[in-house]
Amino acid sequence: MNMLVVLGSPRKNGNSETLAAAVASGFCNKSGMAGTVAETVRLNDLAIRPCQACGGCAKTGRCVVSDDMTALYEKVDAADRLLLVSPVYFYALSAQMKAFADRFQCRWSRRYLLRQRFRQGEDRLGCLLSTAATKGTRLFAASELSARYIFDAMDIPQGPSFLAPGLEGRSDAKTRPDLLNEALDFGRKLAEQSAE
């Protein structure tokens, strides 16, 4: 079973990357699970043009733009577990994650215009990991709603989210052993858990 971790923060080794690494480690080290592997990509290092709304995908379900997304579509399509990782920016996903997500309009076309389902009945799950500095009640609401429709377009059942408020400085998550353990456990459970 494989996991793809898509990092949406521009901050290397920041809070969301730290927690994502713990999730991946829990996933890979789940005792008794042979062959669990995780691959991580950092969106900020890639060239990803925002969706041009050209409609080019409507007939094929494929994006006509040629950039670093071409390889990412293959990785997402091959993923059994997909972890989308983003800090909260102005109560929503980071720009890096939003640009990546909008490029899945081609998969929305595949599912809803072309009526083609993808890897149906297979054990797949998509999860959101998000961090934020404050602790407001609706802090993650927009990101979770957005993630729900991103996974829907990808045709991946949505799994649980890992949400970590109260993290501001780059190394705050590293000083929270409780949170790191929760993230490890979250990763372990993703190796066991199936979509309902």
Ligand X SMILES: Cc1cc2nc3c(=O)[nH]c(=O)nc-3n(C[C@H](O)[C@H](O)[C@H](O)COP(=O)(O)O)c2cc1C
Per-residue contact track with ligand X, 13 to 32, x per CB under 6 A?
A: -xxxx---------------
Radius of gyration of the chain (CA): 16
CB of 79 to ligand X, least distance (A): 21
Asked whether position 187 contacts ligand X by CB under 6 A, the answer is no
132, 153, 180, 183: which one binds ligand X (CB under 6 A): 132
The rounded distance, in Å, linking the Cα atoms of 100 and 119 is: 21
Question: Checking DSSP bridges between strand 162-164 and strand 2-7, what pairing results, if any?
Answer: unpaired
Task: Check residue 143 for interaction with ligand X (CB under 6 A).
Answer: no
Please give the residue whose beta carbon sits closest to ligand X in the complex: 14
Q: How many residues does the chain have?
A: 196
| Separation in Å, CA 169 to CA 81, 89, 132, 180, 183 | 29, 14, 10, 16, 18
Judged by CB under 6 A, which stretch of 10-18, 40-48, 75-83, 108-116 contacts ligand X? 10-18
Residues that bind ligand X (CB under 6 A): 9, 11, 14-17, 87-91, 131-134, 139, 167-168, 170
